[in-house]
């Protein structure tokens, strides 16, 4: 449970905890991950316990070197290869057919495995020192807001992890984009830190997996996820009538709302920059959720570039993903 800064000796300590089957929360550029040795099914099972994550929701494996892909995947589609070479290290996860020995608990029994190399030096050093792929979902209870600081991790699951490495706030702030290669076709399973437009520039059109099609292929992508405990509504048009007796929060994209009736206001990006909005998204949501409000209203953001990932998280927070 101790929170320690990223130093050489703490990385060594974290790596030995992973090798011994423990759990380490560590920073990545997207959000903080809760990591375990991917080859150790018991250690991976603890991830599910601590997060209260359903076993049907597969884990993403974090690698330090591109070559590790070939230890885990039985086939690498040339387009996946192009994406990995272009965007790794970075917030892109690819889903490819797995080799037999990848534990079923990691893949939820699917014949595929999800892999990525994070763009965070401490994360890669941890993986290198642990000498194993690290299975790591976000370090938060299942369905709740993702952690973008070590404090978010400590507050939510601190008691149940062996070590939390504090590497400061995450630089991207939303989870990775997930692209699966299924029967020769690329599918976007989750919008994330690499915009779809950039992916399509590399490999041509990518089909966006609709929520109704997703469940057997990517079981974890539920319509409610990344949720605050406070009721959360995305505005479409004007503000609804506000009951002055209620404590209401507002999540704005760029400018504060005109109405003075809000108890707490958070602004994603005063300059209207979607990248900055993504970085701030979960921290703003954590603050709103901790402000004892009756309801939170959110303004939609433009649905382009990183705005697609932001709107996906907002819709899921509202249970409408």
Q: Shortest approach of ligand AMP to residue 12 CB, angstroms? A: 25
Q: Which is nearer to ligand AMP, 110 or 126 (CB)?
A: 110
- Sketch the per residue contact string, 1 through 40, with ligand AMP: x for CB under 6 A, - otherwise: ----------------------------------------
Q: Which is nearer to Mg ion, 175 or 299 (CB)?
A: 175
Candidate residues 23, 110, 123, 309; the one interacting with ligand AMP per rule CB under 6 A:
110
Cβ-contact 42, 103 below 8 angstroms: no
Candidate residues 95, 163, 165, 199; the one interacting with ligand AMP per rule CB under 6 A:
95
Rounded to 5 degrees, φ, ψ at 248 are -120, 140
Q: Which is nearer to ligand AMP, 224 or 255 (CB)?
A: 224
Q: Which is nearer to ligand AMP, 60 or 279 (CB)?
A: 60
What residue ranges bind Mg ion (CB under 5 A)?
137-138
Q: Shortest approach of ligand AMP to residue 8 CB, angstroms? A: 27
- Of 167-196, which residues contact ligand AMP (CB under 6 A)? 175, 178, 180, 189
Q: Shortest approach of ligand AMP to residue 31 CB, angstroms? A: 8
Cβ-contact 38, 132 below 8 angstroms: yes
CB atoms within 10 A of CB 190: 22
Q: Is 227 in the site for ligand AMP (CB under 6 A)?
A: no
Give me the residues paired with residue 190 across strands: 178
Cβ-contact 276, 269 below 8 angstroms: yes
Q: Which is nearer to ligand AMP, 138 or 280 (CB)?
A: 138
168/170 Cα distance (integer angstroms) = 7
Which one of Mg ion, ligand AMP, none is in contact with 157 (Cβ closer than 5 to 8 A by kind)? none
Cβ-contact 123, 170 below 8 angstroms: no
End-to-end C-alpha distance for the chain, whole angstroms: 33
Question: By CB under 6 A, which span of 15-23, 217-225, 274-282, 296-304 interacts with ligand AMP?
Answer: 217-225
Q: Which is nearer to Mg ion, 145 or 277 (CB)?
A: 145
DSSP 117-166: --S-HHHHHHHHHHTS-EE--BSS-TTBPPPSSHHHHHHHHGGG-SEEEE
Element holding 4 (H helix, E strand) = strand 3-5
Residue nearest ligand AMP (C-beta atom):
220
Element holding 195 (H helix, E strand) = none
């Amino acid at each position: 449970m101790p929170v320690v800064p990223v130093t050489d000796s703490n990385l060594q300590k974290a790596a030995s905890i992973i090798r011994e089957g423990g759990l380490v929360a560590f920073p990545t550029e997207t959000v903080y991950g809760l990591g375990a040795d991917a080859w150790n099914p018991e250690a991976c099972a603890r991830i599910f316990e601590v997060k209260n994550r359903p076993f049907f929701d597969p884990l993403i494996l974090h690698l330090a070197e591109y070559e590790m892909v070939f230890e885990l995947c039985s086939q690498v589609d040339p387009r996946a290869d192009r994406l990995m070479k272009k965007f790794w290290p970075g917030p892109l996860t690819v889903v490819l057919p797995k080799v037999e020995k990848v534990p079923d608990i990691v893949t939820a029994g699917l014949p595929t495995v999800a892999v990525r190399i994070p763009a965070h030096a401490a994360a890669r050093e941890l993986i290198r020192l642990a000498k194993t792929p690290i299975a790591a979902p976000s370090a938060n209870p299942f369905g709740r807001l993702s952690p973008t600081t070590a404090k978010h991790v400590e507050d939510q699951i601190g008691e149940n992890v062996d070590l939390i490495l504090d590497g400061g706030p995450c630089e991207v702030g939303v989870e990775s984009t997930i692209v699966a290669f299924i029967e020769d076709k690329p599918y976007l399973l989750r919008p994330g830190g690499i915009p779809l437009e950039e992916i399509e520039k590399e490999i041509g059109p990518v089909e966006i997996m609709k929520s109704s099609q997703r469940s057997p292929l990517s079981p974890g992508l539920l319509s409610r996820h990344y949720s605050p405990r406070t009721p959360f509504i995305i505005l479409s048009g004007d503000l609804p009538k506000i009951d002055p007796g209620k404590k209401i929060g507002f999540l704005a994209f760029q400018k504060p709302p005109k109405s003075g009736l809000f108890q707490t206001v958070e602004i994603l990006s005063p300059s209207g920059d979607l990248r900055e909005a993504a970085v701030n998204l979960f921290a703003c949501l954590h603050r709103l959720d901790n402000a004892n409000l009756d309801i939170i209203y959110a303004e939609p953001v433009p649905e382009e570039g990183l705005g697609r990932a932001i709107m996906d998280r907002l819709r899921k927070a509202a249970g409408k993903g």
